[in-house]
Structure 1
Amino acid sequence: MAYPLVPERIIQPSDRTPHGGHRPFLFRTQGAAFRLSSSAGYQSGMGRIAPNTIRTLIALGAVASTTAAQSPVPSAAAPSGPTWRSLTPPTIGPPPLRFEPAVLDLGDLPPGTSRAATVSVTNAGATPLTIASVQTSCHCTTGSLARSTLAPGESTSMAVILEAGDLVSPVTRRVDLMVDGYSQPASLTVAADVHYGVRPRLLPDPPGQSHAGTLTLESASGTPFRVLGVQGRAPDFIGAFNPETDPARTRYEVRWSLPALEAVPRWLVVETDHPDSPIIDIPLPGWSVPRVATPWTVDPPRLMLGEVGAGESRVVLVTIRGEVGDPLLFLESMSVDPPGGLSAELLGMSREEGALTLRVRVTAARGAGGLALDQLVLRAGGHDQRVVLMGRILTPGGTREPVPE
């Protein structure tokens, strides 16, 4: 029995997988269908087909197609043997899909939380569209469609979830819909403003540097607050504002600068009396982590302790991933002035699926106060890894006082 080999569609540029390969190439015959892929064999309605058989079928189809083109066929007789369907090149550009809303703005989002929303997707073209896949620009974002085939004018819903992570910063992500027959995806922009209640906006001076600049702080809820310190120093307010006599505001502009040998160059740390934002750590632009080859890593790279009373403790978890024995643990002060007032004690360890989780008790020293910037140093197998600890040690009575000039 003859089974003409007909390709269902050609391989598009968008058919590349995240690993650089191609998605399966679907062929149809009169009696069955099968897909080409890089696996050891191919499943079809006729059973499992070996790769050599597939190559033979493709070769036969190509030879038969060439022979048919070169040999005249009597008009009264129907052509026999394998035949190819003509291939249509992809349309250059994105498909005519319309999103509502056009940009998904998830608004204010606390660090470490997630938010879900639904977007309407409409086929604004004149032909049916088949959405082959949904891809995102970051693993922190997901998208799932209710339907993948849309007739002209038809709409479906897409659920989008964004995980904020723990960095205080505006974030922008992208959801791409890959459509059969088009060389580019239809893209939806997803935005959110990640903060603890006070929106920080950092403007380096000059741009691209991380040593000095302007910082804007604004209350998202409209609650007035005071800026107590910037990187452990008294804030340098821009404009006519006297923190000793003027009432609290909802928005501030301050100048910031770092010494040439600043101990914690990755984040600019701000202290406020806002109930939701006692400590704000803002990523600095132009900062990069020195890459050191180690057989293990730590997670998270920093821990926010918030406000801790003098003499009080916090229990934190640190996870080590990779092959490592029992690590040594100690603290190094990273504060410039005053030195850090924290101590650390290892309470226990647990191993599970290639990860070692440490329970660490961090205690604020009695008599200490103000911003604490320290690093937890883990040493094992001749390698070091560090976790930055940030917090504000409250003075006796739990008061929040501005950093003195």
Structure 2
Amino acid sequence: MRIALAALTFSLTPVCLPAQDEAPIHAEVGEVTDVALGVLSPGEERALTFLLSNSTGEDFQSGNISTTCGCTRPRADVVFIPAGGTEEFDVTFRAPDEPMTRISMVWFSPVDAPGDRWGIRLTAEIRAGLMADPPEVRLGSVAVGGSEELTRTVTLTNHTGREIEITSASATPECFRVDPAPEVIPAGGSAAITVRFSPLLQAGPVIGELAVATNSPERPHLRIPLHAEIAGRITVEPDRVWFGFVRLGETRTVTLTLRGAENAFAVTEAALDAPGITATPATAEGGLARVRVDLDTGAAGVGIIDRDLILHTNDPIETVVRVDVLGMVSQ
């Protein structure tokens, strides 16, 4: 016999959760009931016992109980609640290993009407013992060879009930620097670490890392990606050498045009370690410099081309310019 869904009402009382008041949490069939688990640490488990009450005059037999997250484990696959009776239902929630907001559904539906499901939504905020804000630092852009220094602050927040000691804080590569870090972050408090970036003499993106070591058992090593961009004085058109898709036996030529931001300059050397590919600087004219890049597929052979062309210039600041050399040689 099919049970009419509209006649079923369940009241759920989380036995192990601190209750805000004495009234039970009710779940109406066809609706979603929210249960907030609060802030949990990675790997922390929360065992919940619900008291399911069947206030109808008919027995309730569920189909397979399902969840949307492997972090939620019901005690049983099905549940039976006699008419007018109650049944305890246990769920264990295990917080994921990474900081996040996790929402997990526990779905119930009658065995003879699997599409008429309703459920309980468990929501938890996963916070490590120590968290960084922002989790990834982008310091911005600075001119090559300039004296400007980029600075950003990373805030470390201690979500535990005890103080955390910072044993070391360093950044790599050397163009990133870290100001002396605080030695202790109080329980529930925060501390700031300042990261600085000084431009190199070569334009392009720079990727680094801020490494923080602590005595926190939950997160003893905190690694924060660092990003900065060095804007060049010299522009290259096109911005890369792209030979395209070339058949064996064919040749290709790409000419690069370099423009200086202020003074006229010349390319003094073109270094490229790639069989079958040669780069030849041309005479500078009108403040422009040109480099001819030739591909001989017979010498290069079949395969993917992915090389770096290093151009040395007599510019007083930007002495090196790097250009990608890309392509594909096929039979």
- The higher relative CO (CA closer than 8 Å, separation ≥ 6) is in 2
Which of the two has greater strand per residue? Answer: 2
TM-score range (shorter-chain normalised) is 0.3 to 0.5
Higher alpha-carbon Rg:
2
